[in-house]
């Protein structure tokens, strides 16, 4: 191949043009704005499907923000120093046992750690 001849220049221009066409085709396929010959951008018009997808995306982002806020609140509840499950269980164990026959809503008393007399 003659590197100094006009065929080399034509091949370089053809490769550059082909790359630009392939680049714009890929960008158009995936919904990006297109480039013109001078580097300017051409925005695509929103279709009904694109608008629907954007609305759904906003809705999902709002849901995600709400869920993150709820998760933060739950983390605060669980990690709060005043909230200790073991302390609450121990406090329940220290309560006097009520007679089940007097109150039908009392439930069944659990006598953990108490030895039976007899």
Per-residue model confidence (pLDDT) at position 14: 94
Per-residue tokens: 78: 């669980």
User: Residue 66 above 90 pLDDT?
Assistant: yes
State the residue for tokens 């300017």.
40
In 3D space, the residue among 72, 84, 78, 109 whose CA is nearest the CA of residue 94 turns out to be: 109
CA distance 85 to 80: 11
Distances in Å between the Cα of 62 and the Cα atoms of 67, 69, 102 are 9, 11, 52
Residue with tokens 């120093």: 81
Instruction: Give the pTM.
Output: 0.35
Longest dimension (CA), the chain: 113
Task: Answer yes or no: is pLDDT of 28 > 70.
Answer: yes
**Residue 60 or residue 105, greater confidence:** 60
């Amino acid at each position: 191949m003659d590197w100094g001849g006009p065929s080399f220049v034509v091949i370089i221009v053809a490769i550059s043009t082909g790359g630009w066409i392939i680049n714009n085709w890929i960008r158009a396929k995936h919904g990006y704005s297109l480039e013109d010959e001078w580097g300017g951008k051409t925005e695509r018009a929103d279709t009904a499907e694109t608008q629907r997808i954007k609305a759904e995306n906003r809705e999902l982002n709002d849901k995600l923000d709400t869920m993150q806020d709820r998760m933060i609140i739950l983390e605060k509840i669980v990690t709060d120093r005043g909230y200790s499950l073991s302390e609450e269980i121990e406090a329940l164990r220290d309560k006097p046992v009520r007679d089940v026959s007097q109150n039908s809503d009392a439930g069944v008393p659990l006598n953990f750690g108490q030895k039976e007399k007899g």
